[in-house]
A = this chain, B = another copy of it.
Amino acid sequence: MTDHTVKAYDEELQFIGGRLSEMGGIAEKMLVDAIEALSRLDADLARRTMDRDPKLDLLQREIEEMAVLTIARRQPMANDLRELVAAIHIASDLERVGDLAKNIAKRTTKISGDIRVPRTLIGLKHMADIAALQLKNVLDAYAHRNVAQADDVWRRDADVDAMEDSVFRDLLTFMMEDPRNISFCTHLLFCSKNIERIGDHATNIAETVHYLVTGDPLPVDRPKGGSSGAESASAGVE
C-alpha cells in the first residue's frame, strides 16, 4: 500500500471503530432504560427508549457499508479481513440487542393498569442486570481485544439462561394462582425471553472476539443453564 492508501485505510478502520463503540453505548443504555421503564411502568421513558432504535439501525448500515467497501477496495489480508468481518457481526448483534430492548419498551407502553405481582419483576430485573453486565463486559473485551474476558462472558451465558428458566416457572405459578395475573404475566414472559436473547447476543459477540483475537472458534456447544432437564419449562435458548 502507498502512504496515501494506508492513511485512507486507517481512517476507514477508525470510522468503523468509532461507530461500533457508539452503537455499544446506545444498546447498553436502551437495555437499562427499557428495564427501568418496565419496573416503573414509565411509558414516557419506554417511548424515549424506542426512539433511539433508528439511530442504531443507521449506524449498523453505515458500519456494514464501510466494512464491505473497505474489503472491496483494500483487499485486506487474513488478519485485517477478520477485523472487518468481526465489525459486521458485532454491529449486527448490537442492532438486534437494540431491537429486543425496544420490544421490552414497547410492551411497557401496552401494559395497562398496575403491576399486579411486583415480586415477578425482581427476578426479571436481576436477570436484566446480569445481561447488561454481560453486554458491558463483552464490549470491554472487544475494545481491549481481551480474549480471557470474552471467554468469561461466553461461560456466564448459562447464568442468564438459568435465570430465565426460573423466572418462567415463577410467572407460570402466578398465572395459575389467579387468572387476573395472566395477561400481565404473559407480557413479562416475553420480556424475559427478550432479555435471554440479549444475553445470547452478548455471547455471540464473545465468540466473535475470541475468533478475532485467536483465529480459532470457540466450541460449537455453549455451556447450558437451566434447560437441561427433560421437563424444563422454558424450552431453553431461543
Contact = CB atoms under 8 A, between A and B. Distances in A.
Given A72-B72, A106-B235, A235-B107, A183 B190 contact: no
Given A72-B76, A81-B68, A182-B172, A189 B187 contact: no
A189 B230 CA distance: 20
Contacts of A75: 72-73, 75
A90 B112 CA distance: 38
A98 B15 CA distance: 34
A14 interface: no
A94 to B, nearest CB: 15
Contacts of A99: 238
Nearest to A64: B85
Which of A103, A182, A183, A187 is most buried by chain B, counting CB atoms within 10 A of its CB? A182
A190 B194 CA distance: 11
Interface in A200-235: 220, 230-233, 235
Given A72-B75, A172-B183, A179-B179, 16 more contacts: A68-B81, A71-B71, A72-B76, A73-B75, A100-B238, A103-B238, A110-B233, A112-B231, A172-B182, A175-B179, A176-B179, A182-B182, A187-B235, A189-B189, A189-B190, A190-B238
Interface of A: 54, 64, 68, 71-73, 75-76, 81, 85, 92, 99-100, 103, 106-107, 110, 112, 172, 175-176, 179, 182-183, 186-187, 189-190, 193-194, 220, 230-233, 235-236, 238
